[in-house]
Amino acid sequence: MSIKTSISLASNTLKAVDALAKARESNRSRIIEEAIQDYLVRRRRDARDRRELAILNRHARELNLEMADVREVQRLPGSAASSTASVGPPGIGGQAASS
């Protein structure tokens, strides 16, 4: 159900809406309604993305702190971790396999 409302637009905006409506064989109301719907969808998506990014950042900080602790333990003199050779792929702290 549509409800009639009144809005004020800049003349150049209204001309662009009219041109788009003509090109789409539509009308002003439909063009403006689609634009508002697109805007609202984008706003909801942006809000969701910001929430998800905050969650990712929070977990990244926790993991980075945990990794810093692990590295600190590995650097301590006399610790078992610092006296053993690291194992892993070359270039990531590991040793290349000898043939």
Q: What is the DSSP string of 21-51?
A: HHHTT--HHHHHHHHHHHHHHHHHHHHHHHH
pLDDT at position 45, please? 97
pLDDT above 60 for 89: no
Q: Using the 8-state DSSP alphabet, how is residue 5 labeled?
A: -
pLDDT at position 99, please? 46
Residue with tokens 């270039």: 91
Q: Using the 8-state DSSP alphabet, how is residue 67 labeled?
A: H
13-62 confidence digits (pLDDT tens): 999 999 999 999 999 999 999 999 999 999 999 999 999 999 988 888 88
Contact 83, 91 (CB under 8 A): no
Domain range list for the chain = 11-78
pLDDT above 80 for 3: yes
Burial class (CB in 10 A: 0-12, 13-18, 19+), 72: exposed
